Each structure stands twice: as structure tokens, then as C-alpha cells.
Amino acid sequence: MTSSFDSIEAAQEAAKRNLWLHFTRMSAYADSDVPVIVRGSGPYVFDQHGKRYLDGLAGLFVSQVGHGRTEIAEAGARQAGELAYFPLWSYAHPKAIELAARLADMAPGDLNRVFFTTSGSEAVESAWKLAKQYFKLTGQPGRYKVISRELAYHGTSMGALAVTGLADIKGPFEPLPPGGVRVPNTNFYRAPEFVADDLDAFGQWAADEIERAILREGPSSVAAVYLEPVQNSGGCFPPPPGYFQRVREICDEYGVLLVSDEVICAFGRLGYYFGSERYGYQPDIITFAKGVTSGYSPLGGMMVRDELMEPFTEGTATFLHGITFAGHPVSTAVALANLDIFEKEDLLGNVRTNEPAFRATLEKLTDLPIVGEVRGAGYFYGIELVKDKETRETFSDDESERLLRGFLSHALFDAGLVCRADDRGDPVIQLSPPLICGQEHFDEMEQILREVLTEAAKQL
Ligand SMILES: Cc1ncc(COP(=O)(O)O)c(C=O)c1O
């Protein structure tokens, strides 16, 4: 193991004593080891004992090109040697310029202006701040509210948390900034009865709920609608046909900005550079992070339409917002090297070609009594677990606790698969592997899931 500790035990002790893991019940490690991942290669990672795991979640929806890419590491090292740091506050540096121009080329329509951040939460928060200031500058100062969907995760900083639709992770931090408004998500598996048999009607209804929310709140108070192309939290809800087209119409009608939160869905996750491209809609702002560097260094940002920049191009107008490390020289150099790999290895092509095989391999699992539905797109799938397949009855909180936290999370990891067992909505297992994966990896995921889910069903 590469570390300054003499032994695996010493590192364990320090991990338990000094390190605070995110969104983690630390008590869970009182009597068991903290998993320590020490290196990665392609779609695999290895723990401190040398055990190999298939990284079925790309870390956290991040490692698009896989692990151990020395060409990206070298690009970062070269940049650190030349110019490790300089802020984007009044200055530019070459790699930020080059990346902004490259992203502007790739982005749909006139999304030509890139404001970098270091993370997805900061990107989401920056988009809200921009929307508020933009409307103040353009004579609509009452617009500050943001609409987002039930269960949707948009980040953890106070503003991003106010956009997030997960009550459980918001409660401890109330009061949050005012203005967050919720609308239904696009979970067709759990659609209301009156549209449960008609996907198109369901999509229209779900989109129209955004209009109803705008009217309820008062159009002159609503600044933006935040939507992921495929909603992650709740277990990969793709948009029904026509959903985004109707949302675009609604936003245009009421002068509300459409923010496509692509922190997960951009950079190949759905087989396109941007999820909005896949579903054919034009956002006013795209927020991104994660896959833009494949995690070799942190970076996020938002891309905005020319029109949103206009009020800031005259006189003393300034977007009063900045982050020290945003658009860091090393991170932007790394992002460029990452995008070079996308092109050289045609990763978008790989995802598009293999998507049907990935889906078909996962769908084999629907023969298990506990698997209710497999849904998603590209290399991004959720497997919903149910107690009763016929009635779609879900688990009680107790059962979900025992099943997901008590058994599945550990059992899947022990069996060599990194994925996510999540019960922020109904219980789901999520998969989002590196974009370099192919059939052998799909088979490996399916085999491990089959074994562990079969055992889980027995334990119920
Ligand atoms: C859609 C979406 N938005 C925002 C975020 C927050 O990103 P970060 O964790 O980089 O702050 C996430 C994180 O998973 C996300 O999935």
C-alpha cells in the first residue's frame, strides 16, 4: 500500500479516528473496516488488500475514461510545473481559455459562455445566482424562485440544497434560502393511475405540472426550472417522449430559464456530450462537473446562452460571484486531456453502440422476484427492487433498512462490485460504469447482481 502508515491496521485506525466520511453513518465502522481503495486500472479499482472491484458507479458518476490514465496525470503534472495556480478573477490562463472555447464548440445552440466552478453544487448555486442577478439587471427583480422535481438531488451547499427535492437531507439545515418549489418527477413506474397506461400522456401531465407550479407561484416570481436529462435520485428516471419539448414551451411562455443540470448526464454518460442533445432540447444554462475531468482533478461549471451574458457586457455590471479554485489550471489541463481521450477512443460511439447490450444484460435480472424494473439510458441505469412484482408493492422502511443498508450494500461490495444501493426514493440499485466498459463488464455486473439479489430475496 502506498501510504505513510507502517501497516494496514495503522491506516485503519487513523481512518476511524481522523477521517469524516461524507453521507456516511460513521457508527457503521465501529466494528468493521473502512473500505480503503488504493488504486485503479481501467474499470477496476483495488483495495488495500489487493482485492479487485468492478467500478460499476465510475466512482460517483465521475470516472468516464476509467482509472490509471497516465496521459491525463501527465497533463496535470505538466501544467502544475508551468503554472500551478492563478485565479480567474480578472485574469485568464491558457488552459481555461482553451477549455471554455472547446466546451462552447461542443455545447448545443448559443451556450457560448463558460463560468467555471470546482464542483456540481457550486455550478447549481452559480446558476441560481446568475438567474437572480440577471433578472434584477433586466427589470424583473421579483424573479427568484426555482422549480425542481421531487427526489431530485442537485447538491449540498445551502442554495443547491434548496433546489434539491430530498426532504431527509434538507431537514437538519432548515431554514434554507427561500424559493425552492417542487413538481413531480418522471417516474413512470409509479405514475398516477389516470396516466399510468400512457407514457405520452404521463409526460405531458408531468411537464404541465411545471406550468401549474409557475402559475400557482406567480410567473413574475419564478426565475428558473432545474431538471436533469435523466433524473438520478430515485433511480434513473428518463424523460417521457415530448417532456422536454413541452417544458421548453412553458419556460418560453413564462420567461423562465431552463437549467439542464448535467452534473451526471454530460460527458458521455448518455452517449452524447450533453444529455440535452440526446433529448433534443435547448437549455438556457447547462451545469456540469464530474465527467468533465473523469475525476483526475476537480472541476465544474455552467455554460450559459449569449443572451444571459449581455447585461454583464456593459458599463459597471459585474456578476458578483467567484470561487478561488474555480477553473484551476491543473483541472482545466486535465479536462482537455480527458476530452482528447473521448475523441481518440470514440467513447460516445462506444456508449451508443453498447447501450442496447448493457440494457439487455441488466434486463435479464427481471426474472428475479425482487427486481421490479430496469430503467435508464446510455451507461446509466437504476434497478428498482420490489417486495411484490405483481402489485409493485415496495418495502417498508424497516425492510428497506435491513435490505439495503443491512445487506445489499456490503454484499455487493464484498462480491466485487462498486454500485449504489439507494433508498432515497423507493429502493434501487444504480449502475453508471466507466464509458470504456463492454460486454464482459456488463456480464460481470449481471452475475454479481444475480447472486446477491437472489440471496437478498431469500433473506426477506
Ligand atoms: C445532478 C447533480 N447536481 C449537482 C450535484 C452536486 O455535485 P457535487 O457533489 O460535485 O457538488 C450532483 C452530485 O451528484 C448531481 O448529481
Q: How far, in Å, is the centroid of ligand 1 from the Cα of 263?
A: 6
Residue labelled with grid coordinates 475525476: 295
Determine the pLDDT at residue 246.
Answer: 98
* Nearest-angstrom CA–CA distance, 220 and 298: 36
What value does the mean pLDDT of the chain take? Answer: 96
Please provide the distance, in angstroms rounded to a whole number, between the alpha carbons at the two ends of the chain. 39
β-pairing verdict for 180-183 and 145-149? parallel
Locate 435 and state its grid cell. Answer: 464509458
* pLDDT of amino acid 105: 98
284 backbone φψ class: left, alpha, beta (φ>0; ψ -120 to 50): alpha
**Ligand 1 centroid to residue 156 C-alpha, Å:** 8
**pLDDT-derived band at 460, boundaries 50, 70, 90:** confident
What cell numbers appear for 352 in the block?
451508443
Q: Is 293 in the pocket of ligand 1 (CB under 6 A)?
A: no
> Are residues 357 and 439 in contact, defined by beta-carbon separation less than 8 angstroms?
yes
Query: Is pLDDT of 1 > 70?
Result: no
Q: What local confidence, expressed as pLDDT, does residue 424 receive?
A: 83
| Closest ligand 1 atom number to CA of residue 287 | 3
Query: What is the rounded average pLDDT of the residues 84-113?
Result: 98
CB 303, CB 285: distance < 8 Å? yes
Query: Could you tell me if 120 and 289 are in contact, meaning their C-beta atoms sit under 8 angstroms apart?
Result: yes
* Average of per-residue pLDDT across 110-116: 98
| Residue 57 beta carbon below 6 angstroms from any ligand 1 atom | no
Q: What is the pLDDT of residues 376-422, one digit of tens each?
A: 999 999 999 999 999 999 999 888 888 888 899 999 999 999 999 98
Lowest mean pLDDT among 343-347, 352-356, 419-423, 442-446: 419-423
Q: Is 147's pLDDT higher than 60?
A: yes
Identify the H or E element spanning 115.
strand 111-117
DSSP state of 153: -
User: Of all atoms in ligand 1, which is nearest to the CA of residue 228?
Assistant: 1
Average pLDDT over residues 61-83: 98
Contact by Cβ (8 Å): 255, 291: no
- pLDDT at residue number 2: 55
Alpha helix positions (H), 19-119: 58-61, 70-82, 94-106
pLDDT at 402: 87
Q: In one letter, which amino acid is 310?
A: E
Q: What is the mean pLDDT of residues 122-145?
A: 98
Cα of 154 from ligand 1 centre, angstroms: 5
pLDDT at 404 (0 to 100): 83
Q: Is 264 in the pocket of ligand 1 (CB under 6 A)?
A: yes
What cell numbers appear for 419 in the block?
A: 454500485
Cβ atoms 272, 278 nearer than 8 A: yes
Q: Determine the distance separating the centroid of ligand 1 and the alpha carbon of 336, expressed in angstroms.
A: 21
Nearest to 448 by CA among 65, 60, 55: 55
Which tens digits make up the pLDDT trace of 280-305? 999 999 999 999 999 999 999 999 99
Residue located nearest, by CA, to atom 8 of ligand 1: 120
pLDDT at 359 over 90: yes
Sole residue written with cell 480503503: 36
Average pLDDT over residues 79-106: 98
User: Ligand 1 mean position to 204 CA, how many Å?
Assistant: 27
Q: Which atom of ligand 1 is nearest to the CA of 233?
A: 16
Is the pTM for the entire model greater than 0.95? yes
Q: Is the CB of 302 under 6 A from ligand 1?
A: no
328 CB within 6 A, ligand 1: no
The β-bridge partners of 231 are 237
| Set of cell numbers at residue 355 | 447501450
Average pLDDT over residues 180-189: 98
Residue 183 CA to ligand 1 centre (angstroms): 19
According to the model, what pLDDT value does residue 307 have?
97
